[in-house]
């Protein structure tokens, strides 16, 4: 179940559209800012802080 949550979180992050004007500047070594994303079915909301203390891998890719 936890693997599924991480997979959904990664998929939603890929779909999210973050423009440079909305991006926050973070220095290397600082914690990532907390954010909230809905699940693909819209029934659950995931927060980055829910995974505090665990490794979170975010796949970021594009094809154009």
pLDDT tens over the chain, length 64 residues: 777 777 777 766 665 654 455 566 778 888 888 888 888 888 999 898 998 888 887 776 777 7
Residue-level pLDDT at 63: 76
Is residue 63 situated within a structural domain?
A: yes
Please check whether residue 62 lies inside any domain of the structure: yes
Domain count, the chain: 1
Structure tokens at 38: 């809905």
Q: State residue 5's pLDDT score.
A: 78
Cβ within 8 Å of residue 51, ≥6 positions away: 6, 9
Q: Which domain holds residue 11?
A: 1-15+32-64
- Which residue from 6, 14, 15 is spatially nearest to 60, judged by alpha carbons? 14
What's this model's pTM, rounded to 2 decimal places? 0.47
Q: Would you tell me how many other CB atoms lie within 10 Å of the CB of residue 9?
A: 20
Domain assignment present for residue 22? The answer is no
- pLDDT for position 33: 82
């Amino acid at each position: 179940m936890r693997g599924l949550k991480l997979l959904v979180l990664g998929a939603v992050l890929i779909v999210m559209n973050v423009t440079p004007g909305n991006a926050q500047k973070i220095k290397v070594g600082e914690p990532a800012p907390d954010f909230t994303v809905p699940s693909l079915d819209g029934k659950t909301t995931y927060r980055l802080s829910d995974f505090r203390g665990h490794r979170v891998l975010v796949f970021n890719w594009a094809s154009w």
